[in-house]
Structures are given as C-alpha cells and as structure tokens.
Chain A
Amino acid sequence: ETGVTQTPRHLVMGMTNKKSLKCEQHLGHNAMYWYKQSAKKPLELMFVYSLEERVENNSVPSRFSPECPNSSHLFLHLHTLQPEDSALYLCASSQALQGDYGYTFGSGTRLTVV
C-alpha cells in the first residue's frame, strides 16, 4: 500500500443510484485531490482540498459532490450519473497545497455507469 487507500476498487452503478467513493491517507498530508482518468485523456483535476477546506472545483457537474470531514479522509458522493462518467477515479494527497511536493496516488476506483 502507498499510504493512500481508495474503496471500493470497482463499482458498477445505475444512473439513478447514489454511491460514495472513499479515500483515506495515512501520510500526514494536508492536501487531497480527486482526479478523473478516462481512456485517451489526460488526468482531469476535479477537486482540491487543503486542510479540509475546498480550494478548487474545476467546473465539475453537481452530480459529483465532494466531502472532506478531516485531513485524512476524502469522499466523492455520486448521484444520477451518466454513462460518460464511467472512468477511473483517483485520489491523491500531498504534504501541502503550496510548495514543491509530489502527489501520492491511491489505486483508484474503476466506476462503470450502466
């Protein structure tokens, strides 16, 4: 394990379902991120949290709702998704938002919307 754990690893959901993705980091990092990775596309930054405060929301549709209850946990709540939302959702953390720190990624949740 890398220190960043994502659950579940795989998720299949219908368009009317509500589900949540979970990310947990044990590295003592202060910043956490949600990325979407689709085939043939660059990693797309969705949300940024620093010390539990949302810093950035990159024009993500409201059917994706993040939650950061503390600096170790990050959730992505999903509802009424579309088939084009099927992708690998990656969580990452870094020591701090500012400064030159690399990101540590989790293994991702492979989401399929049917």
Chain B
Amino acid sequence: GENVEQHPSTLSVQEGDSAVIKCTYSDSASNYFPWYKQELGKRPQLIIDIRSNVGEKKDQRIAVTLNKTAKHFSLHITETQPEDSAVYFCAPKGVRGSARQLTFGSGTQLTVLP
C-alpha cells in the first residue's frame, strides 16, 4: 500500500510570506496528486490537484509541483493571508487493497500571523 509522509506538521508564517508543504509517497504507480484544505470545524476541500504528466500547476496564489522521479510533490502558497490558516492534507492516489484510492497525509497546520 501507499506510505505518505507530509512535512512540516506545523508551519507559521508572517502574512505576505510564502509557505511550502512537502509530501512524499511510496507507490511509483501513483498518478494523481491532490491537496485538500480543512479549516477549523469544516470539511476538507480540494484546492488544487496535478496529474503525473504535468510538472507544475498554478491557480492564483497556490501552486503544486511534482517530482515523480523522487516521489514527492509540494504545495506552494504565495502572499499568504490570514484566511489561509488551516490544515492542509496531501492525498496521492495509489493502489490500496483492490482499488486505487487516495491516501491522506497526516496534515500540516498552517498559521498565518497578521
């Protein structure tokens, strides 16, 4: 099955600075790499995803980069704002059991300090 590690587990940045969260995975057959954001007391929401035939994808202030050779992908948030404070989860899609499924990382608590 897929082993997923996410670093750091907590991250504090000043408003306006950039934040980077890294996710490493073990299943070389994984080919779909999403990031989810979960605000306090709310449901996880998909914020950006990338497929294995692409190295980078950007959506306004957030971007995801993928290194398939090294089996890691990263979430980049630029010009951070207080509303970016949340827990972020990576969830690469690899083989688990009888089907390909998302395996969630342990999460990164991002705090943006005003």
Contacts and interface: CB of A to CB of B under 8 A. Distances in A.
B99 A48 contact: yes
Given A45-B101, A103-B102, A2 B107 contact: no
Interface in B1-37: 4, 31-32, 34
Interface stretch (A11-19, A64-72, A75-83, A104-112): A104-112
B49 A102 contact: yes
Interface centre among B4, B34, B98, B102 (most CB of A within 10 A): B102
Interface residues of A, number: 21
B84 to A, nearest CB: 19
Nearest to A105: B43
A102 B107 CA distance: 17
B28 to A, nearest CB: 16
